[in-house]
Structure 1
């Protein structure tokens, strides 16, 4: 059966869990699926189970020694002193039981999505369990053990000979994916994020353009802290259109972290849920304009798992599956079901209240700084057109 869009999911994705109090909490997947079910927006025929990535696939990106260390960590056999060298057993990335298997399922979900799209079984595929963009070849970082997006991109190159545009709208710079393809002219990496002056991982400057043959294929839009919707969206729409036109990809892979929102506890941006309607709408448009519709979407960051992530990721699926009309009203049943367990008042609307936060006194200055960043990024592209 061919689908316009498929949803990669199984409960195996919930096994990626560091601890009860760790900010990375895959319970947000449960909340998102339940919101979609309250909307009658997800049919069982659209759900595809992920598989577990094998070692050969993982080592498309990751060092074999690192994969073996992750396996040992998941069995309780990796000494802390050795684990630290691999970024395992740290405050950000603690060791947990069966961490290799849980992480390999996240990667396998991205590969399942890639196969669905590239074989024509679906135009679009979403894998919200993925998006772990900080993982490096031989080291865990920033809650990320294996880098599912990087493995999927290398898989797309090897199996389908595809030119891939990676688009990262997480508030944190997509460093692991960028560095994996920094010298590769057949992969363009695009990341719009909060400036590294204030936020992990501290990279993603507009001057990070690539290296060697890959020079000119890395694009970064670091936004000033407290950036609001208008400047965020203007920066995103202007730059992504030009980058896509320049690169002309065969497939677009988007990472959809939902942590640029004002409520997110780990970041300092001032976006509302409004941007999460526009982010996938533009990706959808560009996929059809340049890639015959081939669009793969993964999840990412997002640490307000009650008020922000379920709405943001539901809006992504509604756009991808052509069901935007279902966002006309918010399902009261979902709010009533989960409010007794939630630490905050849950939303009863797809929009945020206009008085969600006080006026930002530096708004014009922030907007101006972001525009200068956009100009710096676009200048080389526009210069090539002359």
Structure 2
């Protein structure tokens, strides 16, 4: 295993919980850590602690609008005032919305950002070559409002640190099935932050953005690339578009560091989207990003978590494969040698939780796609994605 890779502790971020019924649930983190411990690949207690609360809060106040942060604070108490509740909808925090306010929300969202900032600092300062913060990746938050389960934008906070403290050129790569809109709009006019997002097309999926004509603005024109994939896209088409796009972007942009977001909701089992990929893309994308970092940034790579709503069957395997790649774990040799990736460790999971899976858990690292029903219109979908890629890459040198 590679000792130059840091795990950022997620214990404090576990407080980021809307409710036990909400799809964005920290049980995903517990299951992933449990799987990695069963593999002998992780000691979470030995990981890097997040940045200080005070330092992170100052950064949040710098990148988010003052009235928004004030509203988040007001709604984070046990019994918010009626005036704060009445104003919650203006900031995307209404009680019946997708990002409802909850007690301790401000502190929990700051804790998430603290982990991502610690990861960025560790890599850019030379303390580590790579760092992973799985509680991060809240990519939908805007400067002035919450959106899509995201209160504060930890990815934007980490990138702002990389820009302002180190003057680093940052290549941000978002693999969540939902467009990384918040991060894109934070840096839409910044020529030193290149945002690349691969996602299901906004024609059919939240947040309804991320089209190929979104290419940046003003001096940031050309530093934004969106791959809007067709519903029911499968592994080969997804990976073909992804691999060509990230290489073209890195060659043209010449980054100092890569920051990647690893929502794992493009899997066929995910209940909130329509992409039909298997676990294979979650083995291949980290491998491609590792190689990209080696070629273009001297290995500097910060990885964050993100979405993923099949908590038991998909997220733990996908995020574990990401960590195994980042540390170059010897287990990968056996995973790569078996068509199904080989067996998951015996006894997993054994966490204490009131949550339970809806059905049988997978027993292997990868999926048996031969048993899946073939997608109709496969050739048509692949051709549409190919044409989309050609259009998206027109402005990339």
When normalised by structure 1's length, the TM-score is 0.95
For each residue in 1:101-122, what CA deviation from the matched residue of structure 2 results, as whole angstroms up to 9, or x when unmatched? 0000000000000111111111
1:330 is aligned to 344
- For residue 325 of structure 1, report the CA deviation from its aligned partner: 2.3
Name the CA distance, whole Å, in 1 between partners of 2:275 and 2:151: 26
- For residue 354 of structure 1, report the CA deviation from its aligned partner: 2.2
Q: Give SS of 2:188's match.
A: coil
Q: Runs in 1 of length 4+ with deviation above 6 angstroms?
A: 336-340
1:30 is aligned to 30
For each residue in 1:143-191, what CA deviation from the matched residue of structure 2 results, as whole angstroms up to 9, or x when unmatched? 0000000111111101111000000000000000000110110000000
C-alpha contact (below 8 Å) 1:195/1:223 kept by paired residues: yes
For each residue in 1:194-245, what CA deviation from the matched residue of structure 2 results, as whole angstroms up to 9, or x when unmatched? 0001100000001100101000100000000000001000010011111111
Name the CA distance, whole Å, in 1 between partners of 2:390 and 2:351: 47
Q: Give SS of 2:185's match.
A: helix
1:318 is aligned to 324
Name the CA distance, whole Å, in 2 between partners of 1:23 and 1:94: 12
1:145 aligns with one of 135, 148, 151: 151
Query: How many aligned positions are there?
Result: 381
Is the aligned partner of 1:92 residue 2:69? no
C-alpha contact (below 8 Å) 1:12/1:105 kept by paired residues: yes
C-alpha contact (below 8 Å) 2:140/2:153 kept by paired residues: yes
Name the CA distance, whole Å, in 2 between partners of 1:91 and 1:356: 38
- For residue 44 of structure 1, report the CA deviation from its aligned partner: 5.2
1:152-163 mapped onto 2 (5 Å cutoff) = 152-163=158-169
C-alpha contact (below 8 Å) 1:3/1:121 kept by paired residues: no
Structure 1 alignment gaps of length 5 or more:
none
C-alpha contact (below 8 Å) 1:335/1:346 kept by paired residues: no
Name the CA distance, whole Å, in 2 between partners of 1:26 and 1:41: 20
Name the CA distance, whole Å, in 1 between partners of 2:241 and 2:386: 7
2:135 is aligned to 129
Structure 2 alignment gaps of length 5 or more:
336-341
For each residue in 1:94-142, what CA deviation from the matched residue of structure 2 results, as whole angstroms up to 9, or x when unmatched? 1110100000000000000011111111100000000000000010000
1:77 is aligned to 80
When normalised by structure 2's length, the TM-score is 0.92
What is the RMSD computed on CA atoms of the aligned residues?
1.8
